[in-house]
Each structure stands twice: as structure tokens, then as C-alpha cells.
Amino acid sequence: MTTLRAASRRLLTPRLFLSWKPQASSIQVRPVLASGHITSRFPAPCAIRHSSHSPLGGAPASSRKMITVQTLRNLHKKGEPITMLTAHDFPSAYAAEAAGMEVILVGDSLAMVALGMHDTSEITLEDMLLHCRSVARAAQTAFTVGDMPMGSYEVSPEQALQSAIRIVKEGRVQAVKLEGGEEMAPTIKRITSAGIPVVAHIGLTPQRQNALGGFRVQGKSTAGALKLLTDALAVQEAGAFMMVLEAVPAEIASIITQKLKVPTIGIGAGNGCSGQVLVQIDMAGNFPPGRFLPKFVKKYADVWAETVKGIEQYRTEVKSRAYPSEQYTYPAPEEDVAEFRRIVDEIPEKK
């Protein structure tokens, strides 16, 4: 204590002030004013975080129990629709969790909506792992599913299993989703035999858009509908505990759903499915004007317009110096400001 008091009475000259580099201990020193000399009045560090890049925080608090495969099966058994929404990072997953989504899908659609890629075929397994981890940190109770990207499962069931293990182990999600019907049954069986839950995806499979002739509705003809039913029964038999039906006529999807023992999640497949999924950016309206939206997307908000409006107002206020006003600044004691100004005025200008 004596040493600290002695240090607090150390007088600073302008030259010493300019060369001063505070150490961990000296930051806590508050020297007293000595007539005709410079003193330091810097306060000890504050425990409150004053940072523009402070973390969003942990997962949102929730009284809801963890959603599991069994939870989803119970919802299906009761006939209660299952809610699923995509998320591609911590904030979007945080919002989905806070809104009570039962399933959060880290969809490979993030290739376009989050990474600006042309289509889903560009995204890699490493990309998906990064985004899965980000989403998993926010999903405290929601059941999380990670998409298997193109190229990570088609070569063989063994390749698919290795990729699925990485998505669950490194991506920290609870299940994987893969595209394909009857031809993917051996792959689904191999993954599920290792204890990894699988969500199948039939109908319009975006990873295969080139083979399908683009993004076309599937199952419109009798033959096409029968093919979908065959695929659905095959992936169910292989062990998929749930499946996505995309871009399928509502009546066809409803009939297929009634023939299955596992829940179906529709996206552009009518309300006869066991649940629904949408891409979060689409349904939240977080995209610029003029962007194409599939027929089945309902826009529930206009996040883009509100965001641009806020940014424009921020720019205007910065240009006019209206921001930051006194409300958004940190004050300092007048005597310290006056002393600091006097110190600065005494410092000779560099030539």
C-alpha cells in the first residue's frame, strides 16, 4: 500500500507523459494534482463491457424441453404439425429458437442466401460444418438437422457415413438430411445403422436440378406420383425417420403422407404434410426487391426494407453529425477534461 501511495504522487512532465506506456499495475494508479506539473487522473478499469462488438450472448433461455426424434414422432402421432425453418448462422438460429421452431435445418440453400453462390452444388462439406456449428450454439432446445452437401455422400454408403459422422460430431447437429429416393436407400441404411438419424428429401431435389431439367414440380403425372411413392416407401424402409417433400402437388403429397408411418415435411407440397419448412430469409423478406420467389413462399415480414431504412437513417445522421448525440456517448468529469485540454495545449507541436 505504501508503494502504491508513493507511486500515486509521482509527478509527470510533458516529456514523460508523451513517452508513458501504462503497465497492468500503473493503470490502477490515480496520481494527485501537483501545481505546475502534469498528473494522471485515469480511473481504474471498469468491469462493464463497453464494446461495439460485444457478443450476442448464449442461446436464448427457454423453459421448453429438448426436442428429440421421439418428440417429433409424438407430434406426428398426435397429428400436430411439425414446424421447421432454416438457419445459417448464430443470429438466424437464435431467432428460430426464440420463436419456438421445433426443427432448425442448416440447409445447403445457405450457399445462395448466405454465401452468394450460384446454386447449392458449390457449397462444400467444410462450409456446412462451419455453419452447422454456428447454428448449434444457438439451438438450445430445437432439433437440429444438417444438410449433406453435393459430393459428400453420393460415391458410396461408406463415404456418406464418414461425412455424416463429421456433420454430427464436428457440426454438433443431431441429424443429417440427404437428397434422393430409392437409389439412396442403401446409403440411408448405412448411416442409420451407425446411430445417426436421417431425414430424407424427395420430390424436387435441388442438388440434381440439372438432371431434372431445372426447378420443376415433381409428381404431376400418375407415373411421377407413383415414382414418388416408391421413393418415399424405400427411404422409410431404409430407416429415415422423417422426409422432406419438395415441389409436389398438394393432393399427391397428402396421399403419400397418409401411406407413410413417418412424418413428412412439406415445402411447396400443400398442408396435407405432417409439417412445413421454409427458408428463413425467404419467409422473413430479407432479400432485395426483384428477387425471384417460388410460388409456395409466403412473406411474413419485410426485414430487408426495415434494415435498409435503418442504415439509410444512420448514414444521414452521421453526415449531419446528429449521431452520436450526448445520449450515445460516454461522459468524463469536467475537471479531467479541462486538465487534459491544458496538458495537450502545453505539448509542443512537432515540426
Residues annotated as part of the active site: 246
Q: Read out DSSP for 169-234? A: HTT--SEEEEEBSGGGHHHHHHHHHTT--EEEEEES-GGGHHHHTSS-----SHHHHHHHHHHHHH
Q: Residue 141: enclosing H or E segment and its boundaries?
A: none
Q: Residue 21: enclosing H or E segment and its boundaries?
A: none
Q: Which of 70, 75, 40, 118 is nearest to 265 (CA)?
A: 75
Please say whether the beta carbons of 241 and 253 come within 8 A: no
Establish how many alpha carbons lie within 13 A of residue 221's alpha carbon, considering only the half-sphere containing its beta carbon: 4
Q: What gap in Å lies between CA 287 and CA 294, rounded to an integer?
A: 13
Q: Residue 86: enclosing H or E segment and its boundaries?
A: strand 82-86
Q: What gap in Å lies between CA 190 and CA 175, rounded to an integer?
A: 14
Q: Read out DSSP for 249-288? A: -HHHHHHHHHH-SS-EEEESS-TTSSEEEE-HHHHTT-S-
